[in-house]
Structure 1
Amino acid sequence: MDRTGEFRFEYDPGVLRFGSVADLGDELERQGFERALVVCGSTVGTTPEVIDPVTEGLGDRLAGVFAETTPAKRLATAFDGLEAMRKHDADVLVALGGGSSLDVAKVMGVLAGADRDPAAIGREFEEHGTISVPAGSMPPIVAVPTTLAGADLSTVAGVTASPESGLVDAPTSGGVGDPRLMPSAIVYDPALVATTPKSILAASAMNGFDKGIETLYARNATPVTDATAMRGLELLRDGLRRLGDEGPTADVLDPVLEGTMLVQYGIARPGETTLSIIHAFGHGLTRSYDVQQGAAHGVVAPHVLRYLFAEVDGRRDLLADALGVGDADDRAAAIVEAVADVRDALDLPTRLRDVDGPEPAEFPSVAEAILADSFVANAPTGLEPTQDAIEGVLEDAY
């Protein structure tokens, strides 16, 4: 086994609620929040099947709706959201939708706590790729996910900025991170998630599924995350195939959403994460190319795992048991096949040439970006990725 006997596990998640958003107002009351600003995208904000249950669940604690988030997660959008927050005198942000809305809500919280000149924040972000998190208080966040990416139990957020915003002189991407960005509560409602189109759920599900895979072989794995990741993968391995066959219903999504919650439990801890090399590949492919992260994960995950198992053990016994292939003679090959089977059941792309990603001539620069990603440092013990090896995985995936 790669992990040593010693470990340290510091983790302070928000309240986890599994059930109807009809009780959302009750959770806010328990935590002492009075005026909620819902933060979501325009599609969610104008889709009655999604927005109405949330606003009705909030009841008289609904202060307003800010429906302007986008997948780009713009810093300018967070500033607009800050204005909306002040206009509605909100004391809590309810992030509704996918990871983009949650990330924007977190950046809004940082901006609210900092109370600094936008130009100064833009300069800092362009120079350092991050924004200083204030020492004082920040508005709490309640997350209500409608996808399966597993970005909810997290203390980080991604953000971008373009020159058109007037905040930066060159396109900039980066993020913010702080233990206080952990949502105060996360409400998982299978019926609400079932309103999301199958194609969106499928891509986000692959991202969430890979969190469980990586958590088991990460260098900083712990018995706690071993347990939650294994149970989560057990639920996802069958639940995601059923999602692919039957489509999204509350009944289908009940175990899938439970599994998604479990695989992300404990992965984002103060100063560390269990995300590893698959996510580094995802970052390298999505930061410069118009390919959705879940689709990128679906393409590269089997190839990354094949490379990984050729170099190290990668805790393959645990992974094989979690994926239901523990009796296989060649557990490494069986794991790769099981992951590919989930990908195929979700009808995701299988080759880089079939997505809006890089061409082979660009693989060297993509490999450089992957190697520079912070998640590579959390690769399994003994795995030392090289430029040539990364390019080889990209070539195999092409």
Structure 2
Amino acid sequence: MRFVHDILPQRVRFAAGAAAESLAAEIGLLGGERVMVIAAPSQKDLAERITAGLPVAVHHDDVTMHVPVDTAERARTVAAAHEADVVVSIGGGSATGLAKAVALSSALPIVAVPTTYAGSEATPMWGLTEGSVKTTGTDPKVLPRAIVYDAALTLGLPVELSVASGLNALAHCVDSLWAPRTDPLDQALALEGARALRVGLPQVVARPDGLEGREQALYGAYLAAAAFASAGSGLHHKICHVLGGMFNLPHAQTHAVVLPHVLAFNAPFVPEAERRLAVALDAPTADEGLARLRGRLRAPRSLRDLGMPSDGIARAAEAVVAAAPEGNPRPVTPQAVTALIEAAWEGADPR
């Protein structure tokens, strides 16, 4: 066994019902005196409640999926105009992504308060969209200094979105098993994350108002993101970034649809990782475990239902082949990728 594993410098506070207290503690440790709060309009009441008493200089709610470049520029201008010294993001991946865009150009510290299972809060990865192209990168400046996890904040996330967001987290686990920089520690985190998501997400569906399932899902989502942050972006995420940027598809739902197809594509070429994932999913095979879980969750099935046009398949396949990571377990050919995207578009069983 021989590997190099970087531990990211980040504090995690995990406590249901303690978001305001935990956030205040983190702002105090950072010495924040002019806080910029980024939260979408749908999170306005929550953001005001958990930041009450903090030295908030500005609330910013111009949050857009996939972080368009012009949206990022507006947020950077607001941060500079209000002389912000800390950025607090409250919400899902779009809010976190916008905070990262601010930090990318200013190096302002971020405290992330997630309300979904997106996982962006645990990674130093950023993404910006211009036109129909999504550009991603990695920079230590955008890694939030701290994460405040409060499962009670996810109680307002509808079941359908919880399922999509949770499967997005599971995609982090799966991709981390064979991503470019994967190592045994990444794989251990990913497998435990997969187990927790397999346990937690059905509980969220069965009891949306229960904390136990929400906590398990949030715990699994963090482990998934921590593994992904170290292992890097594999084929699944390259596909979803291309599709999301090219067709403006909803982020989590796209991941939920594409995941079983990428698993079926790669798993036969990594039998040991597939066997361990099957155990985490409590099934004879990883494919069967994922299929069972998706059935229990009534997961989204097709890219067509998400609004992707059929005439975009060939264009997307070409872009995926160009962006495919080195070292994918199976050769990424135009024919194979086209077949994969076609099956995901139709909602067919994975091939």
State the TM-score, normalized to the length of structure 1: 0.80
Give the direction of change, closer, same or farther, for the CA distance of 1:148–1:60 in structure 2 (3 Å limit).
Answer: closer
The equivalent position to 2:308 in structure 1, one of 333, 349, 357, is: 357
> Shift of residue 146 of structure 1?
0.9
Give 5+ residue unaligned stretches, structure 1. Answer: 114-137, 163-170, 329-333
- CA distance in structure 2 between the partners assigned to 1:249 and 1:53 by the alignment: 21
Amino acid corresponding to residue 350 of structure 1 in structure 2: R
Which residue number corresponds to residue 238 of structure 2? 280
Which residue number corresponds to residue 392 of structure 1? 339
- CA distance in structure 1 between the partners assigned to 2:146 and 2:333 by the alignment: 40
Which residue number corresponds to residue 206 of structure 1? 167
2:243 aligned with 1:294, yes or no?
no
Amino acid corresponding to residue 319 of structure 2 in structure 1: A
> Shift of residue 143 of structure 1?
0.7
- CA distance in structure 2 between the partners assigned to 1:175 and 1:312 by the alignment: 27
Which residue number corresponds to residue 134 of structure 1? none
Q: Tell whether the 8 Å contact from 1:240 to 1:345 is kept in structure 2 after alignment.
A: no
Which residue number corresponds to residue 82 of structure 2? 88
Larger radius of gyration: 1
Q: Tell whether the 8 Å contact from 2:124 to 2:142 is kept in structure 1 after alignment.
A: yes
Count residues in correspondence: 342
- CA distance in structure 2 between the partners assigned to 1:110 and 1:274 by the alignment: 19
> Shift of residue 44 of structure 1?
1.4
Q: Tell whether the 8 Å contact from 2:175 to 2:228 is kept in structure 1 after alignment.
A: no
> Shift of residue 296 of structure 1?
2.1
Amino acid corresponding to residue 129 of structure 2 in structure 1: T
Which residue number corresponds to residue 371 of structure 1? 321
Amino acid corresponding to residue 358 of structure 1 in structure 2: P
- CA distance in structure 1 between the partners assigned to 2:133 and 2:248 by the alignment: 16
Q: Tell whether the 8 Å contact from 1:245 to 1:345 is kept in structure 2 after alignment.
A: no
**2:198 aligned counterpart, secondary structure:** helix
Q: After superposition, where does 1:144-293 map in structure 2 within 5 Å?
A: 144-161=113-130, 173-269=134-230, 273-293=231-251
> Shift of residue 248 of structure 1?
4.9
> Shift of residue 282 of structure 1?
1.4
Amino acid corresponding to residue 202 of structure 1 in structure 2: V
> Shift of residue 156 of structure 1?
1.8
The RMSD of aligned alpha carbons is: 2.1
Q: Tell whether the 8 Å contact from 2:134 to 2:246 is kept in structure 1 after alignment.
A: no
Moved over 6 A (4+): none
Q: Tell whether the 8 Å contact from 2:196 to 2:216 is kept in structure 1 after alignment.
A: yes
2:99 aligned with 1:101, yes or no?
no
Percent identity, please: 30
Give the direction of change, closer, same or farther, for the CA distance of 1:148–1:267 in structure 2 (3 Å limit).
Answer: same
Q: Which has the larger displacement, 340-349 or 256-265?
A: 340-349
> Shift of residue 268 of structure 1?
2.0
> Shift of residue 39 of structure 1?
0.8
> Shift of residue 72 of structure 1?
4.1
Give 5+ residue unaligned stretches, structure 2. Answer: 347-351
Give the direction of change, closer, same or farther, for the CA distance of 1:87–1:291 in structure 2 (3 Å limit).
Answer: closer
> Shift of residue 94 of structure 1?
0.2
> Shift of residue 43 of structure 1?
1.7
Amino acid corresponding to residue 263 of structure 2 in structure 1: L
Q: Tell whether the 8 Å contact from 1:283 to 1:373 is kept in structure 2 after alignment.
A: no
Amino acid corresponding to residue 43 of structure 2 in structure 1: V
Q: Tell whether the 8 Å contact from 1:144 to 1:186 is kept in structure 2 after alignment.
A: yes
- CA distance in structure 2 between the partners assigned to 1:71 and 1:143 by the alignment: 17
* CA deviation string 1:22-78 (max 9, x = no partner): 211112112322321101112212xx2x2233212xx23322211111114122222
